[in-house]
Amino acid sequence: MDQAGIIRDLLVWLESHLDQPLSLDNVAAKAGYSKWHLQRMFKDVTSHAIGAYIRARRLSKAAVALRLTSRPILDIALQYRFDSQQTFTRAFKKQFTQTPAWYRRISDWNAYGLRPPIRLGDGKLPEPTWVSLPETELIGQTQSYTCILEQISLFRDEMRLHFWRQFLTEADTVPLVLYGLHQSRPSAEKDDEQEILYTTAVTSDQMSSQLHATQRMMLEGGDYVQFTYEGPRSGLQEFVLQIYGTCMPTLKLTRRHGQDIERFYTHGGKKRAEPPVDIRCEYLIPIRHNQD
């Protein structure tokens, strides 16, 4: 295997072990090289020092935990292998220019400081489109579930399908455009969990008496960044992770308060027995234009 292939495999392994001991000796043993050779190879392939990269990724994972859970800062620091809250705070402030406590409290979520995972050979990133949405009346149903941060991808994919089945259960035909509104917040009951709110909805002019809808709501107008996904339904969640983990920090965007919007375009005809294998979805994230 060439050097790029070795480092590609190592990057995948590192990403799933950021909460484990990752001394240079441990990582070198995993890769099967001396630590000196591994450091040189990693820098040649990625242009980053391996130790600095691991620390930046750990701090980025910690930043997400600060925003999406209510776990004590010390618990998050220890999970990502910092020996004290003071050590964690110094490192965090150096990378994000804010203390962990302030980063958690501030309303907007600025992507500054987040270190995207290095993905070798993954091709181009999804293209952003800047859109301004008018306030729009929707009719739908909001449901919720809780999960720990590490389960969000698996649960979100399963719950999305479950909620759409419920929403469309009595419908003979499927509306041309379906809206999925997604919002998460720290659980009020368990500090290591988050509550996920997911709304299945249509615009009022597409409303049918057969749809299982109980709420009138307003889709918040304003500025959004939009990414378009076309492909297997099972790949949508990985696409969303790429947007948040790579696109938002690369574009240096600030996420403002509000819901993420999934706008699905359907065949608009008679409901089929099984959900579609391939989908088209515009994924919109509320942003604040604060770039110079």
Structure tokens at 277: 């294998």
Question: Tens digit of pLDDT for each residue in 191-233?
Answer: 888 888 999 999 988 766 666 667 888 999 999 999 999 999 8
Predicted confidence at residue 122, as pLDDT, reads 64
SS (HEC) of the chain: CCHHHHHHHHHHHHHCCCCCCCCHHHHHHHHCCCHHHHHHHHHHHHCCCHHHHHHHHHHHHHHHHHHHCCCCHHHHHHHCCCCCHHHHHHHHHHHHCCCHHHHHHCCCEECCCCCCCCCCCCCCCCCCEEEEECCEEEEEEEEEEEEEHHHHHHHHHHHHHHHHHHHCCCCCECCCEEEEEEEEEECCCCCCEEEEEEEEEEEHHHCCCCCCCCEEEEECCEEEEEEEEEEEHHHHHHHHHHHHHHHHHHHCCEECCCCEEEEEECCCCECCCCCCCEEEEEEEEEEECCCC
Predicted confidence at residue 167, as pLDDT, reads 84
Residues 108-138 as b/e (b if ≥16 CB within 10 A, e otherwise) read ebbbebbbbbbeeeeeeeeebeeeebeeeeb
Chunk the chain into consecutive blocks of 10 residues (it has 292) and report each block's average pLDDT, rounded to whole numbers: 87 93 90 91 95 97 91 95 96 97 93 91 85 94 87 82 86 90 86 88 77 81 97 90 90 93 91 88 91 46
Assessment of whether the complete model's pTM goes beyond 0.75: yes
Please name the fold of domain 129-288: Multidrug-efflux Transporter 1 Regulator Bmrr; Chain A (3.20.80)
Enumerate the domain spans of the chain: 3-106, 129-288
Taking the domain 3-106, which CATH number applies?
A: 1.10.10.60
